[in-house]
Amino acid sequence: MSRRQRGPAVAGLFLFATVFIQPGWTLAEEPEQPEEPRAPIQVASGNAGKNYLKLSLNGLVAAGGSTESDVTGLQLGSHDPSRRGFTLQNVELVLDGAVDPYFTAQVNVVFVESPGGETEIEIEELFATTSSLPANLQVRVGHFFTEFGRLNTQHPHSWDFVDQPLSHGRMFGSDNLRSSGARVSWLMPTPFYSELYLTIQNAFGETLTSFGWAPGEEVFGATMASASVDGGGDLLYVPRYAFSVDLTDNQTVLAGVSSALGPNGTGPDGRTRLYGGDVFWKWKSPRANQGFPFVKFQAEGLWRSYRADGIPVSFEDWGAYGQLLWGFHRGWVAGARYDRMGGDEGPMADPFVEDRRRASANLSWFMTEYSKLRLQYNHDERTDFDDADSVWLQFEMILGAHAAHKF
């Protein structure tokens, strides 16, 4: 859903509010009647258990500064710190539960502070997933993060850094690659974990950087064509294969290859191809206390071929990042990341394709599972701009249920 459709989203929020703040229905417990004892119906609450859905609210705030005054040009993600001073990075309401014996569902309603300081609302994800299809199949339908690589499907709460990697900002967009569609995945009958995914989604919209973009928007001097699906070729196809093995009792590797193939909005013959590889390795102590100590490494590489229609713009570029996180003491994690973007410069000096490098270091302190502080330093090098040094301090809090993390 476009972030610009604020009206319906506000109405939706109002609806949420009226549902959750019904006195005596969700929040207050009525005294039991002596004759007919009846438990109050719990529609939602922060804890698992006697209610139909789990509710949680996650808030991320950053403060800091940069030698670069145009922070939005430096930071590519819409959940990144976007200015000197304070940024409300992300406020996310997550609701999830079982629909019925056949589906589970999750909704992520996100509130972000616009550069103008207003609160904008978007439905970041809303999807249902099957619980028990035969033949080890699973289907997801709705609006969701595209199953490509590792980081693309993660919400800012799960990130190991204050910001998203440059490669993701440039190729997947400020808010990662997501759209409305369906995903089929097959858990393969191998002795080790091995899963095949195929996601098919609409290829047009603000969250489809590299593909359709928002119709009417200018990219490389071309106005994006209107969005319509006249055939299968107008959709986005994303196959992915992932596998994992336990190297030892305490070490696990998860790796995958993905590609995203679809039209771009430059015209009927505009096509984009994205290929990616990802690897994640983790060691955790066999005597881990609250999950500490651990060491984990994660890297992703992306390669893009962009062929425009109507304008003489075709280029190939790539981006990659690697990061190492060390949970050296209960609650404490030190991290380092290196980001690199390269490839054809394109016909014009466009910030969309310039060469970039970034080195980051950070230190996170998880006071509990529900709050954390993170201090991060970024050093940016760009071909067309001055080098920049930035320091960000991030605070996170979670109210209510804390959804379990995937590996």
282 binds another protein (CB under 8 A): yes
> At CB < 8 A and 24+ separation, what contacts does 367-376 make?
367/331, 369/290, 369/398, 369/402, 370/397, 370/398, 370/399, 370/402, 371/395, 371/396, 371/397, 371/398, 372/396, 374/161, 374/162, 376/161, 376/162, 376/163
The interface mask with another protein, positions 323-352, x = CB under 8 A, is -------xx---------------------
Residue closer to another protein (CB basis): 22 or 289: 289
Q: Are 388 and 380 in contact (CB under 8 A)?
A: yes
247 binds another protein (CB under 8 A): no
CB within 8 Å of 249: residues ≥ 6 apart = 286
Is the link from the previous residue into 156 a cis peptide, with omega within 30 of 0? no
Per DSSP, the three-state class of 282 is: strand
Sign of CA dihedral 74, 79, 82, 86: negative
Q: How far apart are CA 49 and CA 39, in angstroms?
A: 13
**Contacting another protein (CB under 8 A), which of 98, 229, 348, 373?**
98
The interface mask with another protein, positions 8-37, x = CB under 8 A, is ------------------------------
Q: Which span sits near another protein by CB under 8 A: 7-15, 108-116, 238-246, 262-270?
A: 238-246
**Contacting another protein (CB under 8 A), which of 216, 289, 348, 365?**
289
Q: Tell me how far, at minimum, the Cβ of 403 lies from another protein, in Å.
A: 8
**Contacting another protein (CB under 8 A), which of 2, 114, 136, 158?**
136
99 binds another protein (CB under 8 A): no
The footprint of another protein on residues 164-203 (CB under 8 A) is 187, 189-193, 195
CA angle 161, 76, 70 (to 5 degrees): 110
DSSP-derived letter for residue 8 is H
CB within 8 Å of 277: residues ≥ 6 apart = 149, 255, 256, 257, 258, 300, 301
249 binds another protein (CB under 8 A): yes
248 binds another protein (CB under 8 A): no
**Contacting another protein (CB under 8 A), which of 40, 59, 239, 291?**
291
Q: How far apart are CA 379 and CA 358, in angstroms?
A: 6
DSSP-derived letter for residue 403 is P
**Contacting another protein (CB under 8 A), which of 237, 370, 377, 385?**
370
Q: Tell me how far, at minimum, the Cβ of 88 lies from another protein, in Å.
A: 22
The two tokens of residue 71 are: 């922070």
246 binds another protein (CB under 8 A): yes
Q: Tell me how far, at minimum, the Cβ of 188 lies from another protein, in Å.
A: 8
**Where on the chain is the footprint of another protein (CB under 8 A)?**
45-49, 98, 101, 104, 129, 131-133, 136-138, 187, 189-193, 195, 242, 244-246, 249, 252, 254, 282, 284-291, 330-331, 368-370, 402-407
